[in-house]
């Protein structure tokens, strides 16, 4: 059906037209073929499924529809050819290898299987099934290891079995000897046994020898030792006979009575006294043998008369001791002391001398009272007279007290003058108070002097000038000549002590020595003339040189005729008071030492050149940058030729222009001219405190505080920290602000980050303590003053029954690792009982320490062998982060000195010894694994 529409323009409407056509033939033609079989693809397993497609036209919608139906799977490909091997055993015990080939062929109904098999017996290649290998005989243990190798087929494979048998190859046992008694035959049988190898075993072979016992038949008489009995020496006679009993000869003895040997040879002397005559008689007695006993005999040997000494001995007791001496002193009442004198002599009484004693009181000490008389002479000389009593002895032995006088004279010396300087200056002057002590009537009296002196005066008179001149010209005082130490402190200017540099000046033709002689002659005093002269020289040059070098020389006289000169202690000012006018002395010239004037000062320092300003940041209290510039400063000074020369110095100055331009700035600031004169404030900004930047940090003029800043770097791997310091300070010599900049290195603390294991010894209860130490760094710096954090973890393990190995440490060499520095490895080997396997196992742990090649190398020392063991001490050195010094550590262990061949065995398990051998630790653990490490002798 086709519907069409046409528009009519005149009427303005659309016309519809319908046209019907029959299309069934073309529709059926397009739906062909009606049935179609499509072949599927063959999968990996060799199967495929075909699809049946059916096409038809529907009556309702007149459309072509398609239906699909899957058919059952059909074989499209057979499996590939494969081979199969099977091992089988027959009833006789022979093993055969069966090889089968399986082929598949494709048919319409499927794959047809075809199988072909072949059979082959498995036989070992070795000709002999059993091979016997005979080992070498070990001469120390007498053991030989024989091996039996058996070849057999099992599951189509040739299996090799080795069986080790230990066989005795020699007899190492030594021959033995023993003996026993045959009591029936009264003989000793001696048996010698040695060992002989018979059929792989040591069999004993014995040989017997019989020795009959024969005893002595004679009788023997033996005299005994002479022993003391009663008053002589006696002995007994012993008769000996022998009788046989079993395998021994028994001795029988019989003793007789006592027989006299000899009498005592000691002679005794006894003294008897005849009291009436005073005679001592000496009687000698001894023993004489008679028969079988000793009899006593005696005789008179000598006589001695007793004589006593009539000499009298006097013994004097301590002075003032005893009741009688104290009673006599109390009765005297004048301070005298008495002593008890004892007289002893002898008198005969019978045959002895009797001592007789008599005592009486005598004078021994006088009174201690002293009378003192003091007198003063010329206000300075003090005489002290002491009157005391002295004990005097006479010829007849009596003693008396006599008065003794002693006079002492000494000169009164007063303390040094006290000088007090005023602290404040008024109008450039300050007050000086001098307290002088002078002797009057042998006592020191004080007198005060006040004077105003300049504040900047370096050397001046502390006393008034009139007083200094008076004391210098006084005959008694003469302060410049007699008291040079007081002249330096009190009258330095008057006595000419203020000169830093002196020169020789010609005064006139009047010698001082001739003037002084005239003065002394008028006063009739010639004793002090020699005190004025220091030395006598020959030439003018020598005299000038010596006077300049000698501090006591003030002038010298020079004679033209002789060319001689004399150094003097005085000058013409010393004689102004006594001789106002000096008399001329022709032919003699006077030269005096005078102060040389100071030359004029050199110019102030000048800044010749300055460079651009540079700013650096520091981390201190003030975080503002420090700005400075480099400058070239000329510093002036005077040479010996009175010329001012300068030297150039390169310094760092702050960028601001805050410094004094004139040398008088500090003095003007003290006088208060900064507030009155604008010109002073412009030329002296530092002294007038007009520097805005350093106004708060500056104290008095020229006394500024330091402004320091610093920057600290992080701690490096080597343990050092870099500190950059910068600061601002006032230089008093150059009178300007300067910048300080310096770099220093400081040791910092580094944590030995890592973990360590400390292994304890095995206790008697079978426990071992393991401690893990873990060192880390705190997240914050200086956490409670401890930058390192240390954690400890403890664990207790069992070591019961693990004998032999307790704890062994091995120290490695100091080795350098790339990127890690120098390190040393210490390996700890210890035993631990495994609770699951119920056996002892050996564990190894390695601790790494920092070291240095500059430290001493490790050393091993061994002690002497004692009781079969010796001590081995291993010393090594390690370093810690942040430290330079080497820290010594040592490990001490005990080992056997010599191991016998019979004891040469492994003390721990075989697999543990093999692990020690493969790890290269036989050098330290050979005593535990002596057999595995090959240390048996």
- Section 521-548 average pLDDT: 65
List all residues 6 or more positions away from 809 whose beta carbon is below 8 Å from its beta carbon: 826, 827, 828, 829, 874, 891, 893
pLDDT surpassing 50 at residue 330: yes
Whether the full predicted model's pTM is greater than 0.85, yes or no, is no
For 834, the 3-state DSSP assignment is strand
pLDDT surpassing 50 at residue 530: no
List all residues 6 or more positions away from 928 whose beta carbon is below 8 Å from its beta carbon: 804, 805, 808, 906, 907, 908, 913, 916
Give the closest residue to 832 by CA, choosing from 918, 769, 924.
769
523 pLDDT tier (thresholds 50, 70, 90): very low
Residue showing tokens 């005096």: 592
Q: How far is CA 592 from CA 461, 510, 515, 716, 896, in A?
A: 21, 12, 15, 73, 98
Quote the pLDDT of residue 865: 79
For 203, the 3-state DSSP assignment is strand
CA 933 – CA 180 distance, rounded (Å): 47
- Section 551-555 average pLDDT: 81
5 or 694, which is more confident? 5
Token duo for residue 619? 């981390």
Burial 195-230, CB ≥16 within 10 A → b, else e:
beeeeeeeeeeeeeeeeebeeeeeeeeeeeeeeeee
DSSP sequence for 747-797 = E------EEEEEEPPP-TTSEEEEEEEEEEE-SSTTGGG--EEEEEEEEEE
Token duo for residue 647? 């030297």
List all residues 6 or more positions away from 670 whose beta carbon is below 8 Å from its beta carbon: 701
Strands annotated E in 552-698: 555-559, 565-568, 588-595, 606-610, 614-616, 626-638, 644-654
Q: Measured at the alpha carbon of residue 18, what is the angle toward residues 15 and 22, in degrees to the nearest 5?
A: 165
818 or 233, which is more confident? 233
**Secondary structure letter of residue 411 according to DSSP:** E
276 or 921, which is more confident? 276
- Section 526-541 average pLDDT: 63
22 or 787, which is more confident? 22
For 539, the 3-state DSSP assignment is coil
**Which pairs from 285-294 meet CB under 8 Å and 24+ separation?**
287/231, 287/232, 287/263, 288/263, 289/232, 289/260, 289/262, 289/263, 291/260, 292/259, 292/260, 293/232, 293/260, 294/231, 294/232, 294/260, 294/263, 294/264
Residue showing tokens 């001995």: 313
Q: How far is CA 414 from CA 377, 471, 626, 905, in A?
A: 16, 17, 62, 100
Quote the pLDDT of residue 692: 47
601 or 64, which is more confident? 64
Across 656-660, 805-809, 848-852, 881-885, the highest mean pLDDT is recorded for: 848-852
- Section 648-675 average pLDDT: 79
821-847 pLDDT tens trace:
888 899 988 888 887 777 888 888 888
Query: Which helix (DSSP H) or strand (DSSP E) does residue 873 occupy?
Result: strand 869-878
* 181-190, 380-389, 895-904: segment of lowest average pLDDT: 895-904
CA 220 – CA 240 distance, rounded (Å): 5
* 160-169, 509-518, 630-639, 853-862: segment of lowest average pLDDT: 509-518
CA 211 – CA 186 distance, rounded (Å): 9
Work out the percent of the chain whose per-residue pLDDT is above 90.
Answer: 7
Quote the pLDDT of residue 5: 81
Give the closest residue to 735 by CA, choosing from 677, 678, 667.
667
Helix (H), strand (E), coil (C) string for 791-813: EEEEEEEECCCCCCCCEEEEECC
Across 116-120, 488-492, 505-509, the highest mean pLDDT is recorded for: 116-120
pLDDT surpassing 90 at residue 435: yes
Burial 862-883, CB ≥16 within 10 A → b, else e:
eeeeeeeeeeeebbbbbbebbe
Across 197-201, 548-552, 826-830, 911-915, the highest mean pLDDT is recorded for: 826-830
- Section 509-528 average pLDDT: 57
Across 6-10, 612-616, 620-624, 811-815, the highest mean pLDDT is recorded for: 811-815
* 73-87, 506-520, 874-888: segment of lowest average pLDDT: 506-520
| Cα dihedral: 590, 595, 598, 599 (round 10) | 10
- Section 542-568 average pLDDT: 84
CA 770 – CA 757 distance, rounded (Å): 7
**Secondary structure letter of residue 333 according to DSSP:** -
CA 98 – CA 720 distance, rounded (Å): 80
| Cα dihedral: 520, 522, 526, 528 (round 10) | -30
Quote the pLDDT of residue 183: 87
Give the closest residue to 211 by CA, choosing from 242, 190, 184, 183.
190
802-828 pLDDT tens trace:
765 677 888 888 998 877 788 889 998
Quote the pLDDT of residue 785: 44
CA 259 – CA 238 distance, rounded (Å): 12
For 390, the 3-state DSSP assignment is strand
Quote the pLDDT of residue 708: 67
728 or 751, which is more confident? 728
pLDDT surpassing 60 at residue 289: yes
Token duo for residue 34? 């009606």
Query: Which helix (DSSP H) or strand (DSSP E) does residue 211 occupy?
Result: strand 201-212
Quote the pLDDT of residue 803: 66
pLDDT surpassing 90 at residue 170: no
* Mean pLDDT for all residues in the chain: 81
Please answer whether residues 207 and 200 qualify as being in contact, where contact means their C-beta atoms are separated by less than 8 angstroms.
no
Work out the percent of the chain whose per-residue pLDDT is above 70.
Answer: 87
Quote the pLDDT of residue 479: 83
**In terms of C-beta density within 10 A (0-12 exposed, 13-18 middle, 19 or more buried), how is residue 629 classed?**
middle
Quote the pLDDT of residue 599: 58
Quote the pLDDT of residue 783: 42
Give the closest residue to 188 by CA, choosing from 126, 246, 124, 135.
246
* 227-236, 386-395, 799-808: segment of lowest average pLDDT: 799-808
Residue showing tokens 């599951």: 155
Please answer whether residues 651 and 633 qualify as being in contact, where contact means their C-beta atoms are separated by less than 8 angstroms.
yes
- Section 575-599 average pLDDT: 71
| Boundaries of every domain in the chain | 2-75, 82-121, 131-168, 176-212, 319-367, 605-657, 754-778+788-896
Q: Would you give the end-to-end CA distance of the chain in angstroms?
A: 123
897 or 332, which is more confident? 332
What's the chain's Rg over C-alpha atoms?
A: 68
**Secondary structure letter of residue 127 according to DSSP:** S
* 13-27, 642-656, 711-725: segment of lowest average pLDDT: 711-725
Give the closest residue to 71 by CA, choosing from 55, 42, 48, 46.
48
449 pLDDT tier (thresholds 50, 70, 90): very high
**Secondary structure letter of residue 906 according to DSSP:** B
Quote the pLDDT of residue 418: 92
pLDDT surpassing 50 at residue 703: no
């Amino acid at each position: 059906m086709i519907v069409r529409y046409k528009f009519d323009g005149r009427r303005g409407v659309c016309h519809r037209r319908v046209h019907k056509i029959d299309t069934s033939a073309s529709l059926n033609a397009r739906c062909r073929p009606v049935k179609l079989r499509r072949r599927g693809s063959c999968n990996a397993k060799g199967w495929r499924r075909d699809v049946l497609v059916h096409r038809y036209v529907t009556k309702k919608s007149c459309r072509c529809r398609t239906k699909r139906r899957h058919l059952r799977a059909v074989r499209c490909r057979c499996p590939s050819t494969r081979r199969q091997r099977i091992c089988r055993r027959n009833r006789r015990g022979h093993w055969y290898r069966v090889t089968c080939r399986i082929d598949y062929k494709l048919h319409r109904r499927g794959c047809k299987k075809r199988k072909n098999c072949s059979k082959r017996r498995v036989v070992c290649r070795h000709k002999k099934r059993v091979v016997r290998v005979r080992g070498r005989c070990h001469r120390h243990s007498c053991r030989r290891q024989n091996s039996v190798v058996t070849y057999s087929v099992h599951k189509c494979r040739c299996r090799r079995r080795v069986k080790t048998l230990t066989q005795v190859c020699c007899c190492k046992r030594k021959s033995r000897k023993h003996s026993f008694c045959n009591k029936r035959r009264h003989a000793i049988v001696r048996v010698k046994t040695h060992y002989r190898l018979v059929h792989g075993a040591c069999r004993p072979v014995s040989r017997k020898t019989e020795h009959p016992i024969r005893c002595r038949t004679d009788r023997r008489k033996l005299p005994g030792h002479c022993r003391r009995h009663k008053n002589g020496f006696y002995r007994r006679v012993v008769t000996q006979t022998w009788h046989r009993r079993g395998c021994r000869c028994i001795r029988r003895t019989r003793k007789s009575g006592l027989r006299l040997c000899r009498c005592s040879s000691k002679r005794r002397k006894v003294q008897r006294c005849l009291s009436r005559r005073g005679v001592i008689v000496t009687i000698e007695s001894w023993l004489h043998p008679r028969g079988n006993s000793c009899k006593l005999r005696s005789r008179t040997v000598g006589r001695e008369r007793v004589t006593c000494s009539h000499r009298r001995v006097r013994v004097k007791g301590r002075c003032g001791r005893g009741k009688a001496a104290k009673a006599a002193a109390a009765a005297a009442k004048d301070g005298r002391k008495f002593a008890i004198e004892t007289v002893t002599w002898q008198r005969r009484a019978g045959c002895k001398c009797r001592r007789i004693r008599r005592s009486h009181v005598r004078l021994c000490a006088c009174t201690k009272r002293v009378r003192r008389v003091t007198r003063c002479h010329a206000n300075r000389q003090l005489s002290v007279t002491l009157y005391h009593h002295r004990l005097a002895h006479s010829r007849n032995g009596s003693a008396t007290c006599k008065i003794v006088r002693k006079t002492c004279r000494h000169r009164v010396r007063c303390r040094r003058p006290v000088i007090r300087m005023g602290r404040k200056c008024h109008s450039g002057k300050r007050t000086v108070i001098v307290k002088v002590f002078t002797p009057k009537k042998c006592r020191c009296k004080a007198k005060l002097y006040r004077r105003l002196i300049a504040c900047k005066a370096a050397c001046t008179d502390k006393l008034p000038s009139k007083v200094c001149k008076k004391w210098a010209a006084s005959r008694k005082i003469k302060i410049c000549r007699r008291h040079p130490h007081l002249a330096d402190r009190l009258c330095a200017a008057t006595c000419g002590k203020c000169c830093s540099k002196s020169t020789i000046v010609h005064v006139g033709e009047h010698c001082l020595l001739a003037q002084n002689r005239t003065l002394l002659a008028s006063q009739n005093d010639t004793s002090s003339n020699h005190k004025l002269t220091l030395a006598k020289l020959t030439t003018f040059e020598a005299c000038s040189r010596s006077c300049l070098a000698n501090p006591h020389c003030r002038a010298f006289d020079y004679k033209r005729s002789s060319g001689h000169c004399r150094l003097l202690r005085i000058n013409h000012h010393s004689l102004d008071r006594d001789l106002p006018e000096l008399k001329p002395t022709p032919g003699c010239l006077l030269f005096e030492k005078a102060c040389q004037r100071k030359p004029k000062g050199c110019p102030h320092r000048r800044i010749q050149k300055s460079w651009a300003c540079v700013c650096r940041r520091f981390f201190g209290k003030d975080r503002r940058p420090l700005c400075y510039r480099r400058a070239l400063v000329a510093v002036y000074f005077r040479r010996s030729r009175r010329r001012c020369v300068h030297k150039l110095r390169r310094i760092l100055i702050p960028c601001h222009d805050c410094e004094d331009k004139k040398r008088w700035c500090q003095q003007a600031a003290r006088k208060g001219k900064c507030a009155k004169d604008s010109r002073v404030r412009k030329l002296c900004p530092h002294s007038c405190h007009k520097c805005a930047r350093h106004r708060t940090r500056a104290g008095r003029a020229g006394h500024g505080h330091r402004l320091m800043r610093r920057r600290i770097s992080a701690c490096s791997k080597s343990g050092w920290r870099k500190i950059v310091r910068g600061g601002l300070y006032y230089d008093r010599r150059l009178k300007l602000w300067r910048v300080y900049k310096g770099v220093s290195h400081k040791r910092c603390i580094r944590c030995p980050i890592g973990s360590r294991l400390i292994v304890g010894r095995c206790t008697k209860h079978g426990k071992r303590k393991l401690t893990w130490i873990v060192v880390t760094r705190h997240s914050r710096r200086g956490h409670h003053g401890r930058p390192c954090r240390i954690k400890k973890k403890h664990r207790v393990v069992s070591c019961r029954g693990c004998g032999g190995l307790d704890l062994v440490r091995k120290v490695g060499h100091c080795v350098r690792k790339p990127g890690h520095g120098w390190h040393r490895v210490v390996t700890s080997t210890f035993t631990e009982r495994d609770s699951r396997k119920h056996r002892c196992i050996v564990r190894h742990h390695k601790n790494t320490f920092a070291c240095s090649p500059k430290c001493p190398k490790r050393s091993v020392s061994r002690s002497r062998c004692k009781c079969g063991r010796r001590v081995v001490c291993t010393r090594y050195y390690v370093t810690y982060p942040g430290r330079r010094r080497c820290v010594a550590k040592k490990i001490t262990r005990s080992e056997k000195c010599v191991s016998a061949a019979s004891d040469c065995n492994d003390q721990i398990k075989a697999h543990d010894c093999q692990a020690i051998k493969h790890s290269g630790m036989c050098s330290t653990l050979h005593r535990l694994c002596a057999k595995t490490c090959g240390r048996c002798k």
